[in-house]
Chains A and B, each alone.
Chain A
Amino acid sequence: MTDTGAVIKAEGLHKVFVDARGEEVHAVRGLSFEAHRGEILGILGPNGAGKTTLLRMLASIIQPTEGRASVCGFDVVREPDEVKRRIGFLSGNTKLYARLTAAETVRYFGRLTGLDDETIRRRTDSIFASLNMETIRDRRFEKLSTGQKQKVSVARTLIHDPEVLVLDEPTAGLDVIASRAIVSLIREAKAQHKTVLLSTHYMTEAEELCDRVALLHEGLFLAVDTLDRLVEDAGTTSLNEAFLRRLEAAGVDLGSANEEAAR
């Protein structure tokens, strides 16, 4: 792989799962792309497109079946610890411990990332102040509201000041107020020249935040480009329509897909 200055690089990433019935499921099929410093790259796709699998591979949570990837120059398979130290991973699936307080939770993840107690204290104070979390510092996670829980998750993601944020549908299921914390986090990260990989199936979110967007369907990229180019190439006025055009061009029967979705 040649060094192009990219923070995230993926080459031919492929992931096969074997389910309990012995059936092979190709979740991601040979994806290649790059994401650069200060860039927000959106991964767009319907449920089951392979977004979560792709992000888990990049965060060294699962291993690719084929292909390779690196984050900040560290290989996701051979150097998972270094990769994880540089990534802040947040998804709808990354829940927290009900019986720990907000401060204990953040301290726990800080320690696991290798930070010393003094650094953790300093960063916790700073994050809690910026997210207005002082009042919930010593309250158990199970006692918090949905929005407060999301703030603790954000604080947990940021405690080690990661260079890369990998956000997997971070606003799914959240109300407008809770979603704002995430949107603010993403904007703040961009301002700090961090790289953000944002998976979502909310087109408006992508339009609002992303520099470039990768359209993912059944494990394959239909396109990876800037928003303007995607819309322009498709001859449409919105990203949503552009995505549907791309699906049609890929031979997807949208009528059947809608019926399938309705079922």
Chain B
Amino acid sequence: MRLRQARIVFLKEMLETLRDKRTLMVMILGPVLIYPVLILVLVTMSRAQQGRLEQQPSRVALIGQAVAPSLTDRLLDDEHIELDALQLGDVREAVRTGRVEAAVIVSRDVETPDEASPLLTGALARVVVIYDQADERSELAFERISELLGAYSREAVTGQLAQLEEGEEYAYPLVIRRESVGTPEAVGRRVLGYVIPMMLVLMTIAGSMYPAIDTTAGEKERGTIETILTTPAGIAEIVAGKFLTIFLIAIATGLLNLAGMGLALAAIGHAAQETINLSLPLDAALLVLLFLVPLAFLFSSVMMAVAMYARTFKEAQNYATPIYLLCIIPAMMSTLPGFELTPFLCVVPVVGVTLLLKELLQATIVWGHLALVFISTSLYAYGAFRLTIRLFHNENVLFSSERPFALFVGRTRLKPRPVPTPGEALLLAAVCFVLFFTAGQIVQSHDLRVGLTITMWGLLFLPAVGFARYLKLDVRKTFALRRPSALALVGAVVAAVASLLVVLEIEYVQSKLLPYSQELAEATKRAFEQARFGLVETLMFIALFPAICEEMLFRGFMLSGFSSKMRRWQAAIIVGVLFGFYHVVPVAMKVIPVSHIVIGIVLSLIVAYSRSIFTGMLFHLLYNAGLMTLGYLEPLLEKAGLGGAWLDAGGHVPALLLVPAALLLVGIVAAFVVAGDKRSRAGKHSSA
């Protein structure tokens, strides 16, 4: 990269961006002026309103004055309560309509004999307080009455104890006093940990959005993109210059927001300094700034890549807004109590950074998390950056006046084509993942048999085939519906058996390093026990259906989609990883699904190089069936005293089995790759 040219582009972009009033509004006016003022005004108004409410007396109806004359006197004496006379039948309606804010009904408890309560001189009374939880005045009235009744009750007890010549400890043996070791600073950091990460993430993405759109889609719309391409500035230099501008604006927006929010929070916290200190400590601020860098890097790259697809500013806003909305959910995770970082969450985009920022602010840093989040976020950001450079090289993206996605073109105008694009494959994966994790979980929780059938066929198979039909794709090529050779089928069978042993060892090692969610394992086991699945049913639902439906989605649509724009092994790795993460059930997010990723990659390689989905289906069927059969046989073996007989004393798969199985698996996959490459070369040669 020629740095001089990147610097020239950067300086020009900065100059233009800083002359743009809209950017300045988002970057400076919002955080520096509007948010702090807004927060201060809201808090001041809320305090003033609270003060006003507290000065006004609550109108309360009292029923049963004759039963509780002294309580009536206490209520009459209280300056914050105004008593109102009402009939018993009218009180609920009166509270509901706001005529009174609460009602107190006192009645003698006829079921409790007087002698059972030797402490009381009178009879035990039951008090019902009626109020409206939806009305804040009514709630305040309830709080006042509760306080008064509590004090009254305690005084009554104390008085009666005095008559009996007993001390208070007779009735109240425990005296509870709250004492928090949390310093005001620590309490403040807890609160900051909830608020700041969310705001910082949202503001950084908002800060990157406008300049990203302006410098890409905006330039396309204004016709300046072609002008810069006429100069010797290379694509990498142009992208770097633009990216650096977006990145700095995003950082500046994040920083100014942090400063604005910090000032506003400090001002609010000033009033309650004895219990909470909301000023941001310098060490935490510095660490937060450190993580602002990969965060801004990620958002700038993603926003730039997304906006690059659009032809106009407005179209780019349409593409970028869902990304922004999508980030709100992970950004809000910092505000959920008890949601903490795990190794898996560290690598989930945005979620990892958000929760890490919370850790940093709350001074509960785990250095491993810090490294994992920094590395993963930087990798995602770099990936998005590379994608943007690729898009800048794409003449269709730069100059086409057509909509960038076939999905938006309209089916009647679509022409038949062989396979989907990687974008379409990703879109289908996203839709199927959402369906699987939402609708799939719901239907399975009602009835496992029906639920699994609907999930597999309705939420995976049908969307894949339906989308292919909609896009007018060649179904045979998209889903690799070719007859495999007998040798490929034999290879798939042997590979499936070998992978069973390899996976068992991976699972064992992983369970030791990163324990699985026992909760999930138990829940799954219970669901199967409740459904009373026999072996045949288990094989059908857990082996046959996934072998067909998951293969059609992953090794069919997705693999052909990714293979259309990259090498087969690259596509296989991407599909394998997606396949792995598809097997992460939400509650088990504590682990990275290593074994499923391995199996996903092996399956994808076998299908990609054999060019037949049937080899994948056979492998998948045998692999799942093998796992299920082992699970089914386990209790029987244990009964016969042979539980885990084929594992060694440490619980590992014996090396005598594991090593040949692993070598066999690698050898078979390599054979598929070599044979596939050879066939491709032969095909090219003959067509040439």
The interface of chain A, by Cβ under 8 A from chain B, is 17-23, 56, 59, 61-63, 80-81, 84-85, 87, 89, 91, 93-100, 104, 108-109, 111-114, 156
Contacts and interface: CB of A to CB of B under 8 A. Distances in A.
B232 A112 contact: yes
A85 B405 CA distance: 35
B178 interface: no
A104 B15 CA distance: 10
Interface in B207-249: 222-224, 226-234
A99 B226 contact: no
B227 A100 contact: no
Contact of A96 (B224, B395, B408, B414): B224
B8 A85 contact: no
A61 B227 contact: no
Contact of A109 (B231, B234, B406, B413): B231
A98 B5 contact: no
B126 interface: no
Contacts of B406: 20-22
15 contacts: A17-B395, A17-B396, A19-B396, A21-B413, A21-B414, A56-B226, A62-B395, A84-B230, A94-B227, A96-B227, A98-B222, A99-B15, A112-B8, A112-B233, A113-B232
B557 to A, nearest CB: 15
B88 to A, nearest CB: 74
B5 A112 contact: yes
B399 A62 contact: yes
A263 B316 CA distance: 31
Given A19-B400, A21-B415, 14 more contacts: A20-B409, A21-B409, A22-B415, A23-B417, A81-B234, A87-B230, A94-B226, A95-B224, A96-B227, A97-B12, A108-B8, A113-B232, A114-B232, A156-B227
A156 to B, nearest CB: 8
Given A21-B406, A95-B222, A100 B12 contact: yes
Contacts of A113: 231-232
A20 B224 contact: no
B396 A99 contact: no
Interface residues of B, number: 36
A94 B230 contact: yes
Contacts of A23: 415, 417
Task: Choose among B8, B231, B417 the residue with the greatest number of A CB atoms under 10 Å from its CB.
Answer: B231
A84 B400 contact: no
A87 B222 CA distance: 22
Contact of A20 (B5, B226, B228, B405): B405
Interface of B: 5, 8-9, 12, 15-16, 19-20, 222-224, 226-234, 395-396, 399-400, 402-406, 408-409, 413-417
Contacts of B20: 99
B232 A91 contact: no
A207 to B, nearest CB: 28
B16 A97 contact: yes
Contacts of B222: 95, 97-98
B336 to A, nearest CB: 40
Contacts of B228: 112
A97 to B, nearest CB: 6
The secondary-structure label for the interface of chain A is: loop
Nearest to B229: A61
Nearest to A86: B232
Contacts of B233: 112
Contacts, number: 91
Nearest to B421: A22
A171 B9 CA distance: 28
Contacts of B9: 112
Nearest to B228: A112
A89 B223 CA distance: 14
A61 B226 contact: yes
A61 B402 CA distance: 19
A97 B224 contact: yes
A112 B232 CA distance: 6
A263 B239 CA distance: 40
Nearest to A168: B226
Contact of B231 (A18, A56, A84): A84
Given A93-B226, A109-B231, A18 B8 contact: no
B404 A84 contact: no
B19 A99 contact: yes
A20 B532 CA distance: 50
A104 B222 CA distance: 18
A104 B5 CA distance: 16
Given A19-B400, A21-B413, A21-B415, A108 B12 contact: yes
A202 to B, nearest CB: 21
Contacts of B399: 56, 62
A93 to B, nearest CB: 5
Contact of B402 (A20, A91, A94, A112): A20
Nearest to A140: B19
A165 to B, nearest CB: 11
Contacts of A17: 395-396, 400
Contacts of A100: 12, 15-16
> What 5 pairs between A and B have smallest CB-CB spacing?
A22-B417, A95-B223, A89-B230, A112-B231, A81-B232
A104 B16 CA distance: 11
A56 B19 CA distance: 31
Contacts of A112: 5, 8-9, 228, 231-233
A156 B230 CA distance: 11
A108 B12 CA distance: 7
Contacts of A19: 396, 400, 402
Given A62-B399, A85-B232, A99-B20, A20 B12 contact: no
A101 to B, nearest CB: 10
B208 to A, nearest CB: 19
A81 B5 CA distance: 12
A156 B229 CA distance: 13
B230 A59 contact: yes
B58 to A, nearest CB: 60
A233 B238 CA distance: 48
A95 B230 CA distance: 12
A97 B9 CA distance: 12
B307 to A, nearest CB: 17
Contacts of A85: 232
Contacts of B227: 94-96, 109, 156
A81 to B, nearest CB: 4
Contacts of A108: 8, 12
Task: Choose among A18, A22, A23, A63 the residue with the greatest number of B CB atoms under 10 Å from its CB.
Answer: A22
A20 B417 contact: no
Contacts of A99: 15-16, 19-20
A19 B406 CA distance: 9
Contacts of B234: 81
B593 to A, nearest CB: 34
B399 to A, nearest CB: 7
A59 B224 CA distance: 16
B213 to A, nearest CB: 15
Contacts of B229: 61
Nearest to A90: B230
A113 B229 CA distance: 11
Nearest to A85: B232
B417 A21 contact: yes
A56 B230 CA distance: 9
A17 B417 CA distance: 15
B235 to A, nearest CB: 10
Task: Choose among A19, A56, A87, A91 the residue with the greatest number of B CB atoms under 10 Å from its CB.
Answer: A19
Nearest to A18: B396
A111 B468 CA distance: 49
